[in-house]
Structure 1
Amino acid sequence: MTRVLVVEDDPQLVRALVINMRARQYGVDAAPDGTTALRLAAARRPDVVLLDLGLPDMDGVDVIRALRGWTRVPILVLSARRSSDEKAAALDAGADDYLTKPFGMGELLARLRAAVRRTEEVPLAPGTTVVTTDGFVVDLSAKRATRGGRDVPLTPTEWHLLEILVTNPGRLISRKHLLQEVWGAGRHSGTDHLRVHMARLRRKLEPDPAHPRHLITEPGTGYRFER
């Protein structure tokens, strides 16, 4: 059973989320504040975290940073904060997706399913195991990236993006395709999400993120991986 941790201080919204997810066979724990959320995350080890940013005891971005200190669990932000800077702050801290309140339950459940899919094993192409560049190494079987011999911690979303790109060397992957593959077929927006996650990948993997050699942007179209 997929276990979800809901971090939200609005009792009515929590009740609606719990009812809808349990009806679809998800296991659900709920936390009304950041302190309880961090305790439950350590004790229950959820498969996905749904996180409000406006918590009574701490900012949700600080909860994201605390979780990212020890886990790669997918984090889906549910927030009334709408500005691009606030969304970027959550994504930069390590969130995998961002849904603005008010939202439809159907869209939330679709995003939740996409988050779960990102953590599942994906069959590899025959003979594709390790991809090596002069800056970093990607072990697809172990789901591990290293740079200078040291592990590079990646979120599930960052890993999924990297996996798609490195298994298609030299091929232009459109933004639309990446959004559909990583965030779900129903996603019609979210290029800001994609841009932020790609920028994070470059900071983690490229020797000079401002002048990437391997994770290349094709302006207006998409991205390409070059060895």
Structure 2
Amino acid sequence: MRVLVVEDDPDLQIAVPAALRSAMLAVDLVTDIAAADEALFVNEYDCVVFDRRLPDGDSIRYVRSRRQDGWVVPVLFLTAMDTLADRVDGFEHGGDDYLVKPFAVQELILRVLALSRRGLTIRPPILRYADIELDAGRREVRRAGVLVTLRAKEFCVLEYLMARPEQTVSRTDLLEHCWDAAADPMSNVVDVTITRLRARLRGGPDVIQAVRGRGYKLLSAGGAG
């Protein structure tokens, strides 16, 4: 899952992305509304974390305007504006959640994960395919009941594939959803991650199938479990 953080505080520019990356999320960081608008035009995100007081205005106005145009990406306002009226404004003008600074890092992570899983459709917290079970809340994967330890990108790729069982997913889609803007689109990071993921899921048939010239999909001999 990929998150956009819009924050102009130098300390939080480091702390917030680091916290979210520790939860296996891909994170892009921008510092004002104009840069956020450009990033949202170019990339697809599962959630956006907006500070409110930004150099080019209050982000609530931007979110309100985008909502009026039908924009549905989940938004969390992360801000020092802490009155009841501020919170009400946040929810009434397009926010899905509102967290006041200072905040507990674990609470931020849990809220962003919940919003990211919501996405454009309701996604179940536990995904299953064949003998593989992925618990998005606990960030755990099991195969045939055995816990499998995955790196952040491996978990993200598997989650993206399991949310689309037996559908072909392109390398570009995987790159855009599981890596941030620093990823080189010409690199082979997706293929390398798939290779490592297959190795970690050993102990059963290979359910990750390459589709020549198109990408990858989950497909087991017995179909979906």
Could you state the TM-score of these two structures normalised by the residue count of structure 1?
A: 0.51
Q: Distance in 2 between matches of 1:66 and 1:44?
A: 19
User: Partner of 1:17: helix, strand, or coil?
Assistant: helix
Give the 5 Å matches for 1:179-190: none
Write out per-residue CA displacement over residues 150-198 of structure 1, whole angstroms, 9 at most, x where no aligned residue.
xxxxxxxxxxxxxxxxxxxxxxxxxxxxxxxxxxxxxxxxxxxxxxxxx
Structure 1 counterpart of 2:29: 30
Q: Distance in 2 between matches of 1:42 and 1:16?
A: 25
Write out per-residue CA displacement over residues 57-102 of structure 1, whole angstroms, 9 at most, x where no aligned residue.
0111112113322420000000101111111111111100000000
Q: Distance in 1 between matches of 2:70 and 2:22?
A: 30
Report the residue type matching 1:53 in the other structure. R
Distance 1:106 1:121, change over 3 A: closer
Structure 2 counterpart of 1:74: 74
Q: Distance in 2 between matches of 1:58 and 1:106?
A: 28
Given that 1:64 and 1:90 are in contact with CA atoms closer than 8 Å, whether structure 2 keeps it comes out as: no
Report the residue type matching 1:49 in the other structure. V
Structure 1 counterpart of 2:123: 121
Structure 2 counterpart of 1:42: 41
Given that 1:9 and 1:32 are in contact with CA atoms closer than 8 Å, whether structure 2 keeps it comes out as: yes
Identity of aligned residues (%): 37
Aligned-residue offset at 1:117: 2.9
Write out per-residue CA displacement over residues 175-225 of structure 1, whole angstroms, 9 at most, x where no aligned residue.
xxxxxxxxxxxxxxxxxxxxxxxxxxxxxxxxxxxxxxxxxxxxxxxxxxx
Aligned-residue offset at 1:122: 4.9
User: Does 1:14 find its partner at 2:13?
Assistant: yes
Q: List runs of 5+ in structure 1 lacking aligned partners.
A: 124-227
User: Partner of 1:5: helix, strand, or coil?
Assistant: strand
Report the residue type matching 1:39 in the other structure. E
User: Partner of 1:121: helix, strand, or coil?
Assistant: coil
User: Partner of 2:5: helix, strand, or coil?
Assistant: strand
After the TM superposition, which segments of 4 or more aligned residues of structure 1 sit over 6 Å from their partners?
none
- Mark the structure with the bigger radius of gyration: 2
Given that 2:6 and 2:33 are in contact with CA atoms closer than 8 Å, whether structure 1 keeps it comes out as: yes
Q: CA RMSD in A?
A: 1.6
Given that 1:46 and 1:73 are in contact with CA atoms closer than 8 Å, whether structure 2 keeps it comes out as: yes
Report the residue type matching 1:117 in the other structure. R
Report the residue type matching 1:47 in the other structure. D
Given that 1:38 and 1:67 are in contact with CA atoms closer than 8 Å, whether structure 2 keeps it comes out as: no
Given that 2:23 and 2:109 are in contact with CA atoms closer than 8 Å, whether structure 1 keeps it comes out as: no
Write out per-residue CA displacement over residues 117-165 of structure 1, whole angstroms, 9 at most, x where no aligned residue.
3233359xxxxxxxxxxxxxxxxxxxxxxxxxxxxxxxxxxxxxxxxxx
Q: List runs of 5+ in structure 2 lacking aligned partners.
A: 126-225
Report the residue type matching 1:21 in the other structure. L
Could you state the TM-score of these two structures normalised by the residue count of structure 2?
A: 0.51
Q: Distance in 2 between matches of 1:116 and 1:40?
A: 17
Q: Distance in 2 between matches of 1:20 and 1:101?
A: 15
Report the residue type matching 1:46 in the other structure. Y
Give the 5 Å matches for 1:98-117: 98-117=98-117
